[in-house]
Amino acid sequence: LHVNFCGEEDARVLEEVAGCVVRKGVQYHFQNDDGTGKKYRTFDDYLARMKSKKRTTIRRERRAIYEDASIRVDVVRGSDGTLSESHMRAIFVLYRATIEKMYFGRQYLTESLFLSLFHTPSFRKHIVLILAYLPTDPSTPIAGTFNVVAGGVYYGRYWGCTQEVRHLHFETCYYRAIQLVIDEGLERMEPGAGGGEFKSVRGFEAAVTRSAHFMRHPGLHDAVARFVVAEGEGVEDYVEAMVESSVLRRPMAKEDGERPMEQVEESAV
């Protein structure tokens, strides 16, 4: 039995009631929290928690897309009726194109699956696509992401492109998604596994993930249990270290007599 991406409480029940082994992993999530327990009001509020050099870099990357390359980025979704079958066909083409570029790529999904999700109203309402278009062809996307929004969480899953444009991956996978999370007051964005070094420098913070496993063979079960205990300690230490080194500055508590973030940054220049 294998249950992936359990919530903390679900993992506890599976461990205590079903006798599962709980394994910890790491992903990088964007938390819609300005550091005081409140949600960001704007994308600029999110940038304000970074040092000026980081803010400048992100703004430059976004300008390269919208001003230098004149690319249009659309958000289409099933919940407001803007999502169409043609959009789903297009995102499949992008998904397949990226897999075919990678020697290790494996196509697990088919066009019929994407279309069946579109034609299932209970799932279609959760679909969000972010699609990018060149000015020379405003009807055919050259890049995009397939995402799901549910329970106040934005789940980023599949990215693809048919043309390479510098920084476009960051815009469609991270920045435009973060903007949507902030605008709609969602709790967080989970962009999936991998790419930690790219995510951490853009304000995504390390978070513990959990999976639960039960092996029928007692010897195998015990061996896995011993391994995940040792591994889990390392995971917790890693996450703690990454949170401490986050690019997001923490607001200073007034009672501690510490200066506000802006004053600390100015004095360090």
pTM of the model: 0.85
| pLDDT range class, residue 252, cuts 50, 70, 90 | low
**Is 265's pLDDT higher than 70?**
no
Q: Are strands 72-77 and 127-133 parallel, antiparallel or unpaired?
A: antiparallel
Query: What tens digit of pLDDT does each residue of 180-229 get?
Result: 999 999 999 998 777 777 788 888 888 899 999 999 999 999 999 999 99
Query: What tens digit of pLDDT does each residue of 68-127 get?
Result: 999 999 999 999 999 999 999 999 999 999 888 877 778 889 999 999 999 999 999 999
Residue 39: the pLDDT is 96
**Is 34's pLDDT higher than 50?**
yes
Residue 102: the pLDDT is 76
Mean pLDDT of the chain: 89
Residue 253: the pLDDT is 47
Question: In terms of C-beta distances under 8 Å and separation of at least 24 residues, what long-range contacts does 46-55 make, across chains too?
Answer: 46/178, 46/182, 46/203, 49/203, 49/248, 49/249, 49/261, 50/203, 50/247, 50/248, 50/249, 51/247, 51/249, 51/265, 52/265, 52/269, 54/201, 54/247
